[in-house]
Structure 1
Amino acid sequence: MYPRLIPNNNGHIYIRVSDMKNGSVCTSNLQYVPEDIYPSISRYIINKEDVYITVAGTIGKVGKIPAELDGANLTENADRIIPIKTNQDWLIHILSSNIIQNQIQEYITKVSQPKLAILRIQKLMIPVPPLAEQKRIVKKIEELLPYCYKLKE
């Protein structure tokens, strides 16, 4: 259930799934948590070092939080992944890969509104190479990605 939101900037940013675009968060239409509701959801935050993954509605979108949204409130339709012993960009790339996205599709509960439970996210089979290798993979992906976009066009 969404909290009642307001468009006025009171400092309590609420990031919705609809704000999550292109591996980041679009800040053009942010909403805010009213003062009277904020204490009850103030623990549900996400930091710039974390990775988000959407778990309801549009499921499996991943990305990072811009620095200016560090500590913002996160919708209950997304989960926060803390990249321990992993490179944040590598984690985003691997979670976006077809291999992991196919696993996610298998784990989605088929109810009135499909969901991906946190317990199922924990079961994803994610390869974790050494940190130095993760950084090399990210560097190579970022080097080759523009060519992939050109080929796609």
Structure 2
Amino acid sequence: MFSFSSTPFTKHYYPTVADFENQTINLDSSKYIDELTFDSIKNYELTRFDVFISAAGTIGKVGVIPEIPKDCTISLTENAHKVTTNDESFRDYLLYVFNSESVQYQLTHMATKTGTPKLSIASLKNITIPNRRIKNTYKIIVAIHHLNL
């Protein structure tokens, strides 16, 4: 079993779905894992190019990682999935698309209905995402970032 707690601080954050807030992760409330545990789950480490999606209990909380110190990591629990992109522009595009009403509807309806709702990785492959053209996506993201100032 994994060894985690809220104290003492280690450089490996291990947030739960409850820590997913405002399209990012609240690191102040996040738990930590030790080095041995991190080594066993490092494939679930989030990078700045990833979008995370809650996949158990509360389905569809979507976000990206906050700024963290250089030597720190953030790894997902089994209750979340990640979608890895190759640049921040596409990551931000997916962040907005996954938070859209149509995709949130799809996520909710793809989740299992018995017991605790769960969203499988396989079901993510069936989400309908609008086609994008890179130039148009860039313009959209720049406009959205400008509005958020």
Q: Does 1:103 align with 2:106?
A: yes
Gap runs ≥5 in structure 1: 147-153
Offset of 1:132 from its aligned partner? Answer: 1.3
Offset of 1:41 from its aligned partner? Answer: 2.0
Q: In the aligned structure 2, how far is the partner of 1:9 from the partner of 1:47?
A: 20
Q: Which secondary structure does the structure 2 equivalent of 1:101 belong to?
A: helix
Q: In the aligned structure 2, how far is the partner of 1:22 from the partner of 1:133?
A: 25
Count of residues in Structure 1 that have an aligned counterpart in Structure 2 = 145
Letter in 1 for 2:98: L
1:64-143 equivalence runs, <5 A: 64-68=64-68, 71-84=73-86, 87-143=90-146
Gap runs ≥5 in structure 2: none
Bigger shift: residues 82-91 or 131-140: 82-91
Question: When the two structures are superposed, what TM-score results if normalisation uses the length of structure 1?
Answer: 0.83
Measured on the aligned residues, the alpha-carbon RMSD in Å equals 2.2
Bigger shift: residues 133-142 or 97-106: 133-142
Q: Does 1:15 align with 2:18?
A: no
Offset of 1:142 from its aligned partner? Answer: 3.9
Bigger shift: residues 119-128 or 12-21: 12-21
Q: In the aligned structure 1, how far is the partner of 2:42 from the partner of 2:140?
A: 36
Q: In the aligned structure 1, how far is the partner of 2:90 from the partner of 2:56?
A: 25
Bigger shift: residues 94-103 or 67-76: 67-76
Question: When the two structures are superposed, what TM-score results if normalisation uses the length of structure 2?
Answer: 0.85
Letter in 1 for 2:30: L
Identical pairs, percent = 30
